[in-house]
Chain A
C-alpha cells in the first residue's frame, strides 16, 4: 500500500509569499512615485501611462496589505490598538500618504472635517480603509473627490464621495444587510470591502458596532463610501 505524501501546510508559504510580494511592490511603488515626481504631465507623453502603472501597483500593494491584515485578524493575531485621535490630524496624515496618487491623477480632493472632533479608533486599520476608498474614488470619479468627517449622533462618520457614475444597484450596502456575495464577473475580489467591513466590526462601544455603507448621491452626486464608527 502506498503512503500518501504528506501535504505541506500551504498557508505558511502563502503568507510568506504575500509578505514578499507586498514588500517588493512597496519598493516598486516608491520608485514609480519618484519617477512621477521628476516628470510633469505636460512635457511627457509617458506620464499618463506611468500614472496608471502607479495606480495599479498601489492598488495591488494595498490589497496584499489588507490580505495579510485579514489573515491576522482571522487568526486573532492582529494587534488591534484603538486610541483617541484628533480626526482632522488623522485625515491630514492619510491624505499626505495618498498625495502622490492624487497628484498624478489630476483629480481635485476636498477635505471637510468638523473642528475639534476627537474619536477612539485603530488608526492603522482605519487609515487602510480610508486609503483604499480614496484610491477607488480617485480612479472612478470624473473630476473631484470629497473626504468628509463628522459626528452623526453617537457615531463618527467618515465619507468618501465622488462625482463618478456611482455604484451599480447590486453593490449598494446599507450597513445592516451584510456583505453581498463576491461578484467575480465584475473583476473585483471583494477583498477591499471585506477588509473594510471587518475593520468596522472590530470597533465596538457599549453595544454598538461599526459598519460600512455604499450609497449613491452625496455632495457631488456620485458614489459614496461611508464608514461609521461608534
Chain B
C-alpha cells in the first residue's frame, strides 16, 4: 500500500474544475501536499522548485506546451527523476502513447473519466514496478553497467511480471556498454518467444554496428511492415539507407515517419538537411520551417533547423534569415547557440555586400570566443571559423579548426567538414596540410603515454597523459588512454589519491561524448575492482 500522506503531488490542468477534482481525489486517497498548476509554463516553474513524487498531468493544456512536451522537458532538464510517477490524463488514447521514444513515456495513461479507485490501482501498479527497477536504475545512474546487467539477470529469474521490461532494459544497458554480442543474445532470446518491434530494431542496430547495413535495412523494413507506427525503426532505417548510399530511399523513409507523426522537430530538421543535400532548396526550406514551428514549445527544438532555414533563405531573403537567427537566440540559450547564430549572421552580411556589419559580427564572435568558459563544440567552431576566414581573421580560424581536428582526429566525416571550410576560403592545399599536421599531433600525444608505459616508465606515462588530456580535452580516445594509464599506475600501488577521481571523470566524459564504447565499461570495471581491494 502507498502511504499517500508522504507523497508530494502536482496536478496540472488548464480547467479549474478538473484541477479541483483531481486534487480532491488525491486528498481522498490521503495525500496532504497537493500543488496545482494551470499551464505548462506554471508547471515548469513548480517542477523546478520541488521534487514531486506524483504528477497528474492533463495531456491537452490549451495554448503552449502539451502535456507530452511538458513531460519531455521535465525529463530532459532532470526536473523529475526515475522515482517520480507521472500519469497523463487524456480524453482518449493519443498517438503520443505509441509514437514517442520510450524514455519520454509517462508511467501510465488514464483515460477520462478518472475515478479515485482507478487512480489508486494505477499508482499501486506503478509503484510496484518502480520498486522492482529501483536498484537497476541506481546502478545505471552511477554508470555501473556491469552491476546493472547482473541485477537484471537476478531479477529475471523470478520476476515474471516485469520480465519484458527487464529484458528491454538489459539490452539497452548492454548497448550503452558497447557489449554488442551480448545485446544480440538478448534480442534473439526475446524474438524466439515473441516478435517485439523493439527487439527486432535492436537486432538491426547490432547489424548496423557490425557494418551489415543491408541486413539492418531488410530487418527494419520488415519491422515497419509489421508495426507501422514503430518510429524508432524508421530512424534506423534512414541511417542504414544513408550508409548504403541510397539517399532517395532515406528521404522517403523520413517522409513516411513524418506523415505518421509530423510533430518531431528533429526529424523535420533531418528531412531539411537531406533535401538540401540533393539541392532541393524549396523542400529544405519547408522542412526547416516546419521544424521551427513544431519545436516552438518543445525542449527537443533544434538549433540546426533555425540555422538551416537562415542558410536556405539567406541568399534571396537576407532580412528573413536575420530574423530567424534573432529568434533562435531568443528561443535557445547557451554560448554555442550564440556563437553559431552570430557567425551565421556575419556570413549573411558578408554575402549581401555589407562588409561593415560582417566585420562587426566577426568582432562580436571573437569576443564571445575569448569569454567562453569551455571550448566551443565542433559545429560552432567550424561555423565561427568560416566567418573568421571570410573577414580575414586567419589565425583565429586556424586555431579553431585545429582544435576540432585534434579532438576528433579519427572522425573522418568531421575532418572532411573541416577541410571543406578551408576549401570555401580558397585554402585547400594549406588546409589539408594543417589538418594532417593536427591529426599527427593528436596521435602522437595520445600514444606517447602508452609507449612510455610499455617501456615501464609508468610515472612519466601518467604525466604525459595529463598533458595530452589538457591539450585534447574532448578527444575520446585520449580520455580512454588517460584512464587506462592512470588505472595501470594505481594497480601498482601507492598512487596519489587524485588519480582515482581523475580517471573516473575522464571515463564519464568519454561516455558522454561517445556512448556505447566498450572500453568505457571495461575500464569502469577495472576501476571498481581497484576500489574493492584494500
Q: Does A80 contact B (CB under 8 A)?
A: yes
Whether A86 pairs with B118 at a CB distance below 8 angstroms is no
Contact with B along A117-142 (1 / 0, CB 8 A): 01010001000000000000000000
Which chain A residue has the least Cβ–Cβ distance from B99? A79
Compute how far the CA of A83 lies from the CA of B165 in the bound complex, rounded to whole angstroms.
9
Whether B113 pairs with A30 at a CB distance below 8 angstroms is yes
Whether A205 pairs with B93 at a CB distance below 8 angstroms is no
Compute how far the CA of A93 lies from the CA of B194 in the bound complex, rounded to whole angstroms.
25
Residues of B within 8 A of A96 (CB): 117-118, 121
Compute how far the CA of A92 lies from the CA of B118 in the bound complex, rounded to whole angstroms.
11
Residues of A within 8 A of B117 (CB): 96
Residues of B within 8 A of A68 (CB): 92
Q: Does A206 contact B (CB under 8 A)?
A: yes
Residues of A within 8 A of B165 (CB): 84
Residues of A within 8 A of B94 (CB): 79
Whether A84 pairs with B164 at a CB distance below 8 angstroms is yes
Whether A81 pairs with B164 at a CB distance below 8 angstroms is no
Compute how far the CA of A77 lies from the CA of B95 in the bound complex, rounded to whole angstroms.
8
Q: Does B423 contact A (CB under 8 A)?
A: no
Compute how far the CA of A106 lies from the CA of B103 in the bound complex, rounded to whole angstroms.
46
Rounded to whole Å, the gap between the CB of A70 and the closest CB of chain B is 14
Whether A84 pairs with B163 at a CB distance below 8 angstroms is yes
Q: Report the contact-size class of chain B (Cβ under 8 Å from the partner).
A: 20 to 34
Residues of B within 8 A of A118 (CB): 160-161, 163-164
Which chain B residue has the least Cβ–Cβ distance from A116? B160
Residues of A within 8 A of B194 (CB): 120, 205-206
Compute how far the CA of A26 lies from the CA of B92 in the bound complex, rounded to whole angstroms.
13
Rounded to whole Å, the gap between the CB of B120 and the closest CB of chain A is 10
Whether B93 pairs with A79 at a CB distance below 8 angstroms is yes
Q: Does B277 contact A (CB under 8 A)?
A: no
Determine which of B98, B163, B164 lies in contact with A80 in the assembled complex, contact meaning CB atoms within 8 Å. B98
Given A30-B113, A96-B121; A79-B229 close (CB under 8 Å) = yes
Rounded to whole Å, the gap between the CB of A131 and the closest CB of chain B is 13
Binding site secondary structure of chain A? mixed
Q: Does A89 contact B (CB under 8 A)?
A: yes
Compute how far the CA of A76 lies from the CA of B227 in the bound complex, rounded to whole angstroms.
11
Compute how far the CA of A205 lies from the CA of B199 in the bound complex, rounded to whole angstroms.
14
Q: Does A97 contact B (CB under 8 A)?
A: yes
Which chain A residue has the least Cβ–Cβ distance from B162? A84
Residues of A within 8 A of B98 (CB): 79-81
A residues 211-230 in Cβ contact with B at 8 Å:
none
Residues of B within 8 A of A204 (CB): 226
Q: Does B424 contact A (CB under 8 A)?
A: no
A residues 73-107 in Cβ contact with B at 8 Å:
76-81, 83-84, 86, 89, 92-93, 96-97
Residues of B within 8 A of A83 (CB): 164
Residues of B within 8 A of A97 (CB): 118
B residues 143-192 in Cβ contact with A at 8 Å:
160-161, 163-165
Rounded to whole Å, the gap between the CB of B187 and the closest CB of chain A is 15
Whether B97 pairs with A81 at a CB distance below 8 angstroms is yes
Which chain A residue has the least Cβ–Cβ distance from B160? A118
Q: Does B195 contact A (CB under 8 A)?
A: yes
Rounded to whole Å, the gap between the CB of A180 and the closest CB of chain B is 29
Which chain B residue has the least Cβ–Cβ distance from A117? B160
Contact with A along B109-122 (1 / 0, CB 8 A): 00101000110010
Rounded to whole Å, the gap between the CB of A71 and the closest CB of chain B is 12
Residues of B within 8 A of A78 (CB): 93
B residues 282-313 in Cβ contact with A at 8 Å:
none
Q: What are 30 A-B interface contacts by the 8 Å CB criterion? A: A68-B92, A78-B93, A79-B93, A79-B94, A79-B95, A79-B98, A79-B99, A79-B229, A80-B98, A80-B229, A81-B93, A81-B97, A81-B98, A84-B161, A84-B163, A84-B164, A84-B165, A89-B125, A93-B121, A96-B117, A96-B121, A97-B118, A116-B160, A118-B161, A118-B163, A120-B164, A124-B93, A124-B111, A205-B194, A206-B194
